Structure 1
Amino acid sequence: MSTNWSTNTSFAGTASGASGTILLGRILLSVIFLLSGFGKLTAIAGTAGYFGSLGLPLPMVTAIVVGLIELLGGLAILVGFQTRIVGWVMAIFTVATALVAHTGWDDQMQMINFMKNLGIAGGFLVLASSGAGAYSIDAKRG
């Protein structure tokens, strides 16, 4: 007997159960970006200094832009606003961050952070594909 994974609700759970799981995933994905973005923006001089040490151009502007992407992107994912678009943006941003800040692979922590970023990007791509679920602004907007 073959199992149809996409329509077998006894395996996948009810629609509300799936939406609850998507909500939990959105919460877990957003926390790191909300905290990180807030931290960058409230310690902007330190963030800019760090970005300057990485050789990034216009470190103060870059720090503000990165902080806003993290904070606003994390908030959009949390509430489920424009989730498919924001999921793509955050996936690309997270991979770019890995390539800019976590390529010192001779340091095991940098390798772990690189792989963590790839995993997070995968979660964002799932959201970009599946959408935010029923418990979201996207669902309320119809």
Structure 2
Amino acid sequence: MRASELLTKRPPGTLTDCAVLLSRLSLAVVFFAHGLDALRNLGVSGVVEMQRESGIPLPEIAGPFTVYVELIGGPLLALGGLTRLVAMALAGLMLGALSFIHVSYGIFVENGGFELVLVLAVACVVLAVTGPGRYSVDALVSRLGPRAPVAERVRV
């Protein structure tokens, strides 16, 4: 293999699927932990109040949505279930957090900045575009899903 191929050639499918699985599992841990932390330390009503103070529109809807999308979305990402939908919802949450809360604090997370939420949002967008990979509930459902009758599969 030439050096240029090492830089440009796509890795074998199994390696790609393992990378997607690792991405899903990493994101799942972070989002579930954040959702659980918010629920334990603030409760849904505390998240609603925090979002109200931050100027987030419709905090009575956005607050519970945030907590439960993180709590339920984390395990769904780990399993690879409803992956694209969950990844898009989580990306939206992170972009909202970036816009309404973190952007005014600069980039660095130690100052409350947006670097973490930006990376999480982009990772979720990448996952929404690439899909869950072969090692996922979504892929299993797709493989086991309804197939066209034999008459429709055979060309005459």
Cα distance in 1 between the residues matched to 2:84 and 2:78: 13
Q: Among residues 27, 30, 39, which one is paired with 2:28 in the alignment? A: 30
**What residue number does 1:80 align with?**
80
The one-letter code matched in structure 2 to 1:120 is: L
Cα distance in 1 between the residues matched to 2:87 and 2:27: 10
Cα distance in 1 between the residues matched to 2:86 and 2:62: 19
1:103 matched to 2:103: yes
Number of aligned positions between the proteins: 136
CA 1:64–1:23: 2 relative to 1, 3 Å:
same
Task: Give yes or no for contact 1:37–1:67 (8 Å, CA) kept in 2.
Answer: yes
Q: Secondary structure at the match of 2:135?
A: coil
- Which of structures 1 and 2 has the bigger CA Rg? 2
Where in structure 1 are there 5+ consecutive unaligned residues? 7-11
Q: Deviations over 1:12-49 (max 9, x none)?
A: 1x322222221111111111210111222233143333
Task: Tell me by how many angstroms 1:115 deviates.
Answer: 2.3
Task: Tell me by how many angstroms 1:53 deviates.
Answer: 2.4
**What residue number does 1:47 align with?**
47
Q: Which moved more, 1:89-98 or 1:108-117?
A: 108-117
Q: Which moved more, 1:55-64 or 1:94-103?
A: 55-64
**What residue number does 2:128 align with?**
128
Q: Deviations over 1:1-22 (max 9, x none)?
A: 764624xxxxx1x322222221
Q: Secondary structure at the match of 1:55?
A: coil
Cα distance in 2 between the residues matched to 1:31 and 1:131: 18
Task: Tell me by how many angstroms 1:110 deviates.
Answer: 7.0
Task: Give yes or no for contact 1:82–1:138 (8 Å, CA) kept in 2.
Answer: yes
Task: Give yes or no for contact 1:52–1:59 (8 Å, CA) kept in 2.
Answer: yes
Task: Tell me by how many angstroms 1:136 deviates.
Answer: 0.6
Q: Secondary structure at the match of 1:47?
A: helix
The one-letter code matched in structure 2 to 1:90 is: L
**What residue number does 2:9 align with?**
5
Q: Cα RMSD between the aligned structures? A: 2.5
CA 1:87–1:17: 2 relative to 1, 3 Å:
same
Where in structure 2 are there 5+ consecutive unaligned residues? 143-156
Cα distance in 1 between the residues matched to 2:107 and 2:122: 23
Q: TM-score, normalised by structure 2?
A: 0.72
Task: Give yes or no for contact 2:80–2:137 (8 Å, CA) kept in 1.
Answer: yes
**What residue number does 1:9 align with?**
none
Cα distance in 1 between the residues matched to 2:13 and 2:58: 47
